[in-house]
Structure 1
Amino acid sequence: MTRPSARDEAVWVGVDLGTQSVRAVAVTAGGEVRGAGGHPLTGRRDGPRHEQDPESWWTAVGAACRRALRDVPAGAVQAVAVDGTSGTILLTDRAGRPLTPGLMYDDTRAAGQVGRVDRAGAHVWRRLGYRRMQPAWALPRLLWLLEHRRDLFGGPGQDGGGVRLAHQTDFVNARLTGGPVATDLSSALKTGADLVAEDWPHDVLGELGVPAGLLPPLERSGTPLGVVAPSAAEFTGLPAGIPVIAGCTDGCAAQLGTGRLSAGSWNSVLGTTLVLKGVTDDLVQDPHGVVYSHRAPDGRWLPGGASSTGAGIITRDFPGRDLAALDRAAGAYEPSDAVTYPLAAAGERFPFVAPEARGFVLGEPRDEADRFASILQGVGYVERLCFDYLAMLGAPVDGDLTLTGGATRSAYWVQLRADVLGRPVTLPGHAEPALGAAVLAASAGEALPEVAAAMVSVRATVDPRPAHHTRFAGGYLRLVGELERRGWLPRPVAEHARERTSA
């Protein structure tokens, strides 16, 4: 990797394409953030549909990068990498111009295509460990586009009539380089990429009617894709000619941004929803099809899953409130007599798949503070159940646990989660996927764990309070039992959770 003579002068740029904004950071090899910038995004939701305008991604990337690089000398910038939301796709023409909106990661309009996808690709999905696809995954949505946007295709043929599939990161990388790019294996997982063979399963996709020419080539995250074109340099402030490095999904970027990449390490991202991502040497096999594994740049695996529970229910039920005051009041209810399953919208994805799941409250909270406490504890219980589920699958779960996401702004909630889980938790100094993308940009040709460890600082380690872990066991088991009774949580999973609690 080419660097200035003074290594600490060099910076690498990471760009995070989130749901609500684009964030860019310029980071040194020692982890100092020399510049940061953001720009908001908006979308359109209509029932199961969730779309964004791809051109708004590029507009936001330009604005975020210009702000991040405002005080950074152009000669210091070494490379850039982009992460994006998992499974967000669109169709473009040969020149990379969007032909459709971006169909977002949680768009479930193609739920009716899942059975067809699972029948055609059963042998591949089984080998990849996740067994079956979920309604929000990208391959069902691609089939929906092929069926409902036939006007885009010039007739039969193996090239797709000049139409191309692009993931969110592909669209931005093509604008950065000025031409077609490969897609990273991480972004392509939910589109059906075979991460073991590191290729598309052409027989499966052919059976599903996906034109071979529609698909971009595949590369591992961390692979150079090209260089920043002059037009993109003018628009973004990135120097022309610097490498554009293949990125990953935002969940994988968050894991890389923790700096903890040894087998058994995990990152729990708690924002609107809860996402867990870990590191394993071997591919995790899940007979229930809940956990799926991305491929790490070094060939190891990044298993995890995304729950539909999280802080979104607080945004919904306590809008505009003083959350710090509610935190202080919630401390009087440990544990709450009420048990909340904190699902803000319909359907659950992890630690079980239940499209029919709905949130509920067992018992009657005594007051508003008790209700708030039961929500915080309920999220902790779901997080604990996720780890019990991963342990049941044989995944190593006893390594470092890092907490990231907006919920880490609440010191009380961080402490509560450590108590419910009964384990120490680590808070990084800069907890954001954009940092993980910068780690990828800096790691091309370098050892990823060493690069990540050097670029990520630790803000604090929080230990569970003595005796508090057992205090929450009763509430946890009540939630597990109710999820099992409703038929959402499989009995073997519930029994394993009870065994681990009594151990």
Structure 2
Amino acid sequence: MPGAEAVWVGVDLGTQGARALVVTASGDVVGSGARKLTGRRDGHRHEQDPEHWWTAASASCRQALVDVPAEAVRAVAVDGTSGTVLLTDDRGHPLTPALMYDDTRAAGHVDRVNDAGGELWRRLGYQRMQPSWALPKLLWLLDHHTGGGARLAHQADFVNRRLTGHPVAADLSNALKTGADLIAEAWPDDVLDALGVPAGLLPPLERSGTRLGAVCARAAEATGIPEGTPVIAGATDGCAAQLGAGRLAPGSWNSVLGTTLVLKGVSDDLVHDPFGVVYSHKAPDGRWLPGGASSTGAGAIARDFPGRDLTDLDRRAAAHEPSAALTYPLVSAGERFPFLAPGARGFRLDGTDDEADDFASVLQGVGYLERLCFDHLDLLGAPTGGDLTLTGGAARSEYWCRLRADILGRPVVVPRRAEPALGAAVLAASPGRDVAEVAARMVAVRTVIDPRPEKTGLFDAPYLRLVGEVERRGWLPAETAAHARERTRA
């Protein structure tokens, strides 16, 4: 790299792997690395070993930095899955497995959490916490952990502590589902006291993009990141993907389609959702990032079409528009967005035993849920008329991106690199600078896909059929269903 051009390191901790990118100010990726992660699923439980996060992140960084001069590295930031937490000792060593973002074993604590904090949750716009959120998980962990001296750590906190060698603050983005008051930017001590959360168990809070410390000698040896490199507070993977999409004007949205579907937008004002499925993170510049996380997504393809040639299935699926089958492709039990339904289960109606049609019905089913998300956001008055970017692993499928544009009836922007690690690099480069300007320079557009005129209205009937099915089963509120029908027929 001639002249040792300045670079920033972004580390993404996802469900299935860790990924590191080394990025210049103009968005050129000069190094990348990745390692797989594995977990344990059993019914409502989903765990990972936190030590694997560190070993995977370290190996990813070493691989990414192998050809990068040490003097070029300016900072590093880490993003993690939202609502993933564990307990550590005072040295940062795990006392428990990590309860992952979609682990719902703490469902029995949700009513207690909402009774204690309901007034604050309503003021923050999301009304009530859900079974997969971190504060109910914390109570579950405290009930099942014996011994004192425990500390709560979010996924990014755990890795940041290893990077710095000392305790670190949690970013407000990851702390939202643990009950942080994002308006006051502080923990709600009265709520936590009412829930019996011990004083000193929670980390301090900082906005994303704040300096947390510097890479220590031990971490430098493990990761290849030079000792003394600033460690910058990251965000959830969904918020990092929004930053990595490069569109940060109010009304812009990013749809992250990986194992599951996450939508994040930008708003000047806090969005309130009386149905309790949309929640708003706080951006580094103080704006709001409303959105939600669905339990549908590409994970249904990995589960239902293992080992198949997806490019070939994409080609064959194009002949099934719309598909004969109607699929609600849930990855795991229960739905979180655009409606809250712990009892929701995936289904396929009118299957034909035709693999291509079944595959097409999954792609379309995810698109219908994405469309329903936007109909629900519109019902709430959230600004939705800006650019829509598509990121996540599914953005690599040109066919699926085009199909989603057709189903949504709006253009979609596909960045050149569609991954949260780029958003983490944006955060690493943001201290003292306008994060929107940093993102605009770092993120290049690969293509813009317009909906095909000949497909206008083609997917309306199956979309409304899916809306009717999830309403009939008691999962979708009547208000959202009615608004979806009204917008479709307008």
TM-score by length of 1: 0.95
Match of 1:222 among 209, 217, 223: 209
* 1:286 Cα deviation from its structure 2 partner: 0.3
Match of 2:441 in 1: 454
Match of 2:113 in 1: 117
CA distance in 1, matches of 2:304, 2:206: 43
Which stretches of structure 1, 4 residues or longer, exceed 3 Å deviation after superposition?
A: none
CA distance in 2, matches of 1:367, 1:166: 46
Match of 2:309 among 316, 319, 322: 322
CA distance in 1, matches of 2:309, 2:64: 31
* 1:5 Cα deviation from its structure 2 partner: 12
Match of 1:332 in 2: 319
CA distance in 2, matches of 1:213, 1:317: 45
* 1:361 Cα deviation from its structure 2 partner: 2.4
2:414 is equivalent to residue 427 of structure 1:
yes
CA distance in 2, matches of 1:491, 1:443: 43
Is the CA contact (8 Å cut-off) linking 1:132 and 1:289 kept in structure 2? yes
CA distance in 2, matches of 1:450, 1:5: 25
CA distance in 2, matches of 1:98, 1:361: 41
Is the CA contact (8 Å cut-off) linking 1:336 and 1:365 kept in structure 2? no
Match of 2:269 in 1: 282
Amino acid at match of 2:108: G
Greater shift in the superposed pair: 179-188 or 329-338:
329-338
Match of 1:158 in 2: none
Amino acid at match of 1:59: T
Amino acid at match of 1:44: R
Aligned residue for 1:475, secondary structure, equals helix
CA deviation profile, 1:360-409 (whole Å, cap 9, x unmatched): 22334372222222221111111100000001000011100001111122
Aligned residue for 2:75, secondary structure, equals strand
Match of 1:347 in 2: 334
- Structure-to-structure mapping, 1:59-138, within 5 angstroms: 59-138=55-134
Match of 2:28 among 32, 47, 50: 32
Is the CA contact (8 Å cut-off) linking 1:421 and 1:469 kept in structure 2? no
CA distance in 2, matches of 1:104, 1:223: 25
2:147 is equivalent to residue 152 of structure 1:
yes
Identity over aligned pairs, percent: 73
Aligned residue for 2:103, secondary structure, equals coil
- Structure-to-structure mapping, 1:234-245, within 5 angstroms: 234-245=221-232
CA deviation profile, 1:258-315 (whole Å, cap 9, x unmatched): 1100001111111221111111111110000001111100000111111111122222
* 1:61 Cα deviation from its structure 2 partner: 1.5
Is the CA contact (8 Å cut-off) linking 2:10 and 2:422 kept in structure 1? yes
* 1:345 Cα deviation from its structure 2 partner: 2.7
* 1:246 Cα deviation from its structure 2 partner: 0.5
Amino acid at match of 2:147: L
Amino acid at match of 1:280: S
CA distance in 1, matches of 2:364, 2:103: 29
2:463 is equivalent to residue 476 of structure 1:
yes
Greater shift in the superposed pair: 176-185 or 355-364:
355-364
Is the CA contact (8 Å cut-off) linking 2:234 and 2:427 kept in structure 1? yes
Is the CA contact (8 Å cut-off) linking 2:393 and 2:418 kept in structure 1? no
Match of 1:294 among 273, 281, 288: 281
- Structure-to-structure mapping, 1:155-304, within 5 angstroms: 162-304=149-291
Aligned residue for 1:290, secondary structure, equals coil
Match of 2:429 in 1: 442
Match of 1:156 in 2: none
Greater shift in the superposed pair: 170-179 or 308-317:
308-317
Match of 1:376 in 2: 363
* 1:96 Cα deviation from its structure 2 partner: 1.3
Amino acid at match of 2:355: E
CA deviation profile, 1:167-211 (whole Å, cap 9, x unmatched): 111111111111111110001111000101100000000000001
* 1:45 Cα deviation from its structure 2 partner: 2.0
CA distance in 1, matches of 2:354, 2:458: 21
CA distance in 2, matches of 1:205, 1:287: 23
Aligned residue for 1:97, secondary structure, equals coil
CA distance in 2, matches of 1:344, 1:26: 32
Aligned residue for 1:402, secondary structure, equals strand
2:52 is equivalent to residue 52 of structure 1:
no
Is the CA contact (8 Å cut-off) linking 2:395 and 2:418 kept in structure 1? no
Amino acid at match of 2:273: D
Greater shift in the superposed pair: 51-60 or 245-254:
51-60
* 1:84 Cα deviation from its structure 2 partner: 0.6
Greater shift in the superposed pair: 330-339 or 450-459:
330-339
Match of 1:467 in 2: 454
CA distance in 1, matches of 2:76, 2:332: 36
Greater shift in the superposed pair: 41-50 or 221-230:
41-50
Match of 2:5 in 1: 9
Greater shift in the superposed pair: 409-418 or 253-262:
409-418
Is the CA contact (8 Å cut-off) linking 1:279 and 1:303 kept in structure 2? yes
Amino acid at match of 1:245: I
CA distance in 2, matches of 1:347, 1:431: 27
Amino acid at match of 2:458: R
CA distance in 2, matches of 1:59, 1:109: 27
Aligned residue for 1:254, secondary structure, equals helix
Gaps of 5+ in 1: 154-161
CA distance in 2, matches of 1:346, 1:95: 36
Gaps of 5+ in 2: none
